[in-house]
Chain A
Amino acid sequence: NAGVTQTPKFQVLKTGQSMTLQCAQDMNHNSMYWYRQDPGMGLRLIYYSASEGTTDKGEVPNGYNVSRLNKREFSLRLESAAPSQTSVYFCASSGLGGQPQHFGDGTRLSIL
């Protein structure tokens, strides 16, 4: 049971570079989410997708774009990375009706 798979697990970027974080779930969940976790800040929602074909902004969307490629996959793109985007990024998915979220193991991203 893979659950939620995130790639890559670690990445170092230079300021201004772009990259895409990948997320895939195999639980047939409708909703998918991207969070960032920073020290002392908990998890903050960047974007979410309530169902295939829809995406919505969360608390901290600036500097990010997302694509819900199909029901399984939800990617997060940094077009021009900034040091303030150094963080641990978590992808999550959930079923209908506010069911609990299942999380991936995170992508640790450092921007120099």
Chain B
Amino acid sequence: DQQVKQNSPSLSVQEGRISILNCDYTNSMFDYFLWYKKYPAEGPTFLISISSIKDKNEDGRFTVFLNKSAKHLSLHIVPSQPGDSAVYFCAASEINQFYFGTGTSLTVIP
């Protein structure tokens, strides 16, 4: 049973607009959440993370929001750029194990 879910397989956004990628989880014991970006034929690359004790973390154009009561995580990219086109995975961690969602393919249209 998938503990981390990304219900949108794909998303298209115009350059300069906001991209919002969503992620839901079921395990309330997760204490650390991450977003990874993946280009074809490469491994995932770490993008941004958030601890369960926080509800927001920002890094430049990327902001991650955590709503623990809803067990929901989102990644905001503002403004979106064509180079952001990639597959984005959310992940959640408990002790030494990481659980990944199925990914959302983001296309930023110039």
Q: Once the chains bind, are A43 and B34 in contact (CB under 8 Å)?
A: no
- Closest approach, in angstroms, between the C-beta of B80 and any C-beta of chain A? 23
Specify which of B44, B46, B96, B103 is in contact with A48 (CB 8 Å cutoff): B96
Beta-carbon nearest neighbor of A101 in chain B: B98
A42-B89 in contact given A33-B98, A50-B96, A101-B98 (Cβ < 8 Å): yes
Contact A42 B103 (CB under 8 A): yes
Chain B residues within an 8 Å CB radius of A40: 102
Q: Mark A2-17, 1 if CB is under 8 A from B, else 0.
A: 0010000000000000
**Which chain B residues border A100 with CB–CB below 8 Å?**
34, 46, 49
CB-defined contacts of A41 to chain B, threshold 8 Å: 102
Tell me the nearest residue of chain A to B46, going by C-beta: A100
B43–A90 touching, CB < 8 Å: yes
Q: Which one of B2, B6, B46 lies within 8 Å of A101 (CB-CB)?
A: B46
Out of B34, B49, B102, which one reaches A42, CB within 8 Å? Answer: B102
Using a CB–CB cutoff of 8 Å, the interface residues on chain B facing chain A are: 2, 4, 6, 31-32, 34, 36, 41-46, 49, 89, 91, 93, 96-103
